[in-house]
Amino acid sequence: MHSLQLDNLRNVLIRQEETIIFALIERAQFKQNRIIYQKNGIAIQDFDGSFCDYLLFETEKIHARVRRYTSPDEHPFSPSLPAPILPPMNYSRTICPNDVNINDRIYRLYVDQIIPNICAAGDDNNYGSSVTCDVICLQSLSKRIHYGKFVAEAKFQQAPAAFADLIKRRDEEGLRREITHPAVEERLLRRVEQKAATYGQEIDENSNGATYKIQPAAIRRLYQEWIVPLTKTVEIQYLLQRESTTTIEEPSTSSKETPHG
């Protein structure tokens, strides 16, 4: 198994902030259009779900066929997807096999919390444009939050004995303390607020720089209240599965400090 560098992972996470902020700004140009999230709010033949579910499922079917979900950093929202039509990729093994997928929670968070926070109330009939943005928002949030697996593995590799002990004792609170770095989190929150203020500002000839497409504080809150905690949930779930699904690291019988493979 290739070892993971926390610095490299952080650079990936930092770049994903732009992707998430751009996607949310795009969605925010349309009203909430709640009907697209209501089951059968828009009736679709042979489909029992919302318009958003439909577009997401159809998009994931395409992406599954071109093997998106064979990548360890991609997680589908839909339960049953077709097999890839492309030959398998050889990904270098960086994390342990696991079945952690909290997309159900991410979906509910998105529809119930994020949409009302970033979009004006009401209906502007832009259903297709809205759900096209929704799919991109959901995929980028899912990717960011499930990246917690890589972060957790890297943290494990930095202190395997301590983590193995916490995992053995199923000590979720201990794991949460071990993976939490308040100074790093505060830097992250300051950075995403600054990015939201820069990338979300209106630019026109009469601009005074004070008008935003999404309030920067709303993006900070999104990270603080949801993205960071859900990433930790993924980290902890991954670590709790790690013990049972791998024999790479056995601190009690081996002197090796890092996994290999």
What residues line the site for its own copies (CB under 8 A)? 14-15, 18-19, 22, 25-26, 29, 42, 44-45, 51, 54-55, 58-59, 62-63, 65-68, 71, 85-86, 128, 132, 136, 187, 191, 194-195, 198-199, 201, 203-205, 213
Nearer to its own copies among residue 5 and residue 245 (C-beta):
5
Nearer to its own copies among residue 216 and residue 259 (C-beta):
216
CB of 137 to its own copies, least distance (A): 13
Amino acid at 89: M
CB of 230 to its own copies, least distance (A): 22
CB of 73 to its own copies, least distance (A): 10
Q: How many degrees, rounded to 5, is the angle at CA 100 between CA 99 and CA 103?
A: 120
158-185 burial, b for 16+ CB within 10 Å, e for fewer? eebeebbebbeeeeeebbeebbeeeeee
Nearer to its own copies among residue 194 and residue 247 (C-beta):
194
Nearer to its own copies among residue 101 and residue 129 (C-beta):
129
Question: Environment class of residue 29 by beta-carbon count within 10 Å: exposed (0-12), middle (13-18) or buried (19+)?
Answer: middle
3-state secondary structure of 188: helix
Nearer to its own copies among residue 131 and residue 222 (C-beta):
131
CB under 8 Å to 144, separation ≥6 — which residues? 13, 16, 20, 227, 231
Nearer to its own copies among residue 57 and residue 238 (C-beta):
57
> Quick one: which of 230, 131, 185 has its CA closest to 238?
230
CB of 229 to its own copies, least distance (A): 23
Instruction: Give the side-chain half-sphere CA count within 13 A for 59.
Output: 16
CB of 242 to its own copies, least distance (A): 27
Nearer to its own copies among residue 139 and residue 237 (C-beta):
139
Task: Compute the CA torsion angle 182, 183, 189, 194 (nearest 10 deg).
Answer: 170
> Quick one: which of 95, 98, 64 has its CA closest to 79?
64
